[in-house]
């Protein structure tokens, strides 16, 4: 009872907003390990009240050059409320087996500073929780570098396939519209 009263008191003082709890949809809950690191990140904390661009990546894919454009989007919109997150995956057999090499491709070759997560499954029954949700809403990725635009409410706004370059006007327009909401 004491805990409940304390919680209600804190809520009444406005120290905890009810939107903070509502913002973290079940598919956004969980910790994911960063690429080539022992550090983990709470996805909820990372994307709370932000527009998010989720991308499934692979270091040896023909679309790997899109890292440069994704980094440009990250730099352009991060202060306006966009979070770009990359989920490395070997589901299409194009991720380096050595995580250090994969990290080098992302961070050294392409200058990626947005959050990259360690290899995980993005399709099928082994897909991580976020991708199970994205797949149910938009269909499984057919290849690497699918881009899922997720609103501040945690709901999918739009799915862009591998062929959509990060500098595509359609993607920038969708991001700007989502940020304006």
| Residue positions annotated with a catalytic role | 61
Tokens of 89: 């995956």
- Three-state secondary-structure class, residue 168: coil
- In total, the chain counts a number of residues equal to 181
Whole-number Å distance between alpha carbons of 33 and 42: 9
Shortest CA distance to 147 belongs to which of 102, 93, 82?
82
Q: What Cα–Cα distance (Å) separates residue 71 from each residue in 61, 104, 116, 161?
A: 17, 15, 11, 18
Tokens of 96: 């380096």
Neighbours of 61 (CB within 10 A): 18
CA-CA distance, 63 to 48, in Å (whole number)? 29
């Amino acid at each position: 009872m004491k805990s409940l009263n304390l919680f209600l008191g804190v809520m009444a003082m406005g120290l905890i907003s009810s939107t903070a709890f509502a913002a973290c949809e079940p598919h956004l809950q969980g910790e994911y390990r960063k690429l080539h690191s022992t550090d983990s990140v709470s996805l909820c904390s990372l994307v709370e009240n932000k527009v998010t661009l989720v991308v499934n990546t692979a270091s040896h894919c023909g679309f790997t050059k899109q890292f440069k454009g994704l980094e440009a989007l990250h730099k352009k919109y991060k202060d306006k409320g966009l979070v770009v997150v990359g989920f490395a995956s070997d589901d299409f057999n194009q991720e380096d087996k050595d995580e250090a090499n994969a990290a080098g491709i992302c961070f050294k070759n392409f200058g990626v500073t947005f959050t990259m997560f360690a290899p995980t499954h993005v399709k099928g029954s082994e897909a991580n929780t976020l991708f199970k949700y994205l797949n149910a809403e938009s269909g499984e990725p057919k290849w690497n570098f699918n881009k899922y635009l997720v609103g501040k409410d945690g709901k999918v706004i739009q799915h862009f396939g591998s062929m959509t370059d990060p500098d595509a006007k359609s993607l920038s327009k969708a991001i700007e519209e989502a940020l304006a909401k």
